[in-house]
């Protein structure tokens, strides 16, 4: 297993429709294991294959409240959803950016596990938001595509704040430009 590099907003793989997994082979198993390994240090609730540069319909998610179990969803699709609720979202591919997004309050998803068995998973509240967010990645969508543009903020460390962070408003254009600069810095370091 290896920790893979997270792709950033502006990298082409994040905007592609992903390919269906036809066979669960060693490559897919390695991808899932690497995604699981990557989630720990990245501190995300979920991770989609495009976020590690792979255009496949694979998602990994924390699925227990203790943060000990990561479930792999291969070729997932939402088969039922209900309700709507707003929440602040962030994304590992858009570090420190947050915005208010409307998502279903409950979803049911069908997927395949690493053994090739079909299973059904239900999520409510934050888990429903996470499922919808990660499945959006499989269709080339990012949370900023759904966010209220007036709600976008950068989370900045600030010891003067009780929470340890402050929220600086930004615009969609400013955010996109910031991620372009981040990708340029990554390229200059030779990371990609």
Domain ranges of the chain: 12-175
Ordered DSSP codes for the chain: --PPPPP-TT-GGGGSPPBPP----HHHHHHHHHHHHHHHHHT-SEEEGGGGT--BSEEEEE-STTS--EEEEEEEEEEEEE--EEEEEEETTEEEEEEEEEE-SEEEEEEE-TTS-EEEEEEETHHHHHHHHHHHHTTT--HHHHS-GGG-EEEEE-TTSTTSEEEEE--HHHHHHHHHHHHHHHHHHT--
CATH superfamily of 12-175: Peptide deformylase (3.90.45.10)
Question: Which pLDDT value is given to residue 66?
Answer: 65
- Which residue numbers are catalytic? 134
> Is 90 exceeded by the pLDDT of residue 123?
yes
Q: Give the rounded distance of the alpha carbon of 146 from its chain centre.
A: 14
> Is 80 exceeded by the pLDDT of residue 74?
yes
Question: Which pLDDT value is given to residue 44?
Answer: 80
The pTM of the full predicted model, rounded to 2 decimals, is 0.91
Least confident of 22-31, 131-140, 175-184: 175-184
- Asked if 10 and 96 count as a contact pair (C-beta separation under 8 A), the reply is no
Give the strand pairing for 153-157 and 118-124: unpaired
The residue whose two tokens read 């997932």 is 76
Residue-wise pLDDT tens digits, 24-55: 999 999 999 999 999 877 678 899 999 999 99
Give the strand pairing for 106-112 and 94-103: unpaired
């Amino acid at each position: 297993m290896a920790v893979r590099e997270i792709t950033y907003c502006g990298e082409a793989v994040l905007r592609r429709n992903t390919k269906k997994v036809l066979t669960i082979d060693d490559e897919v198993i390695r991808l899932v294991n690497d995604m699981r390994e990557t989630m720990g240090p990245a501190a995300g609730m979920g991770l989609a294959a495009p976020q590690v540069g792979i255009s496949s319909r694979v998602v990994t998610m924390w699925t227990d409240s203790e943060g000990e179990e990561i479930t792999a969803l291969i070729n997932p699709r939402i088969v039922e959803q209900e309700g709507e609720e707003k929440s602040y979202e962030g994304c590992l591919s858009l570090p420190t950016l947050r915005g208010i997004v409307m998502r279903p309050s409950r979803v049911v998803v069908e997927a395949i596990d690493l053994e090739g068995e079909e299973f059904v998973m239900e999520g409510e509240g934050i888990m429903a938001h996470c499922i919808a967010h990660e499945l959006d990645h499989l269709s080339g969508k990012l949370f900023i595509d759904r966010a209220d543009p007036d709600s976008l903020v950068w989370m900045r460390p600030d010891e003067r704040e009780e929470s340890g962070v402050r929220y600086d408003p930004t615009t969609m254009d400013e955010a996109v430009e910031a991620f372009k600069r981040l990708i340029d810095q990554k390229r200059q370091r030779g990371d990609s």
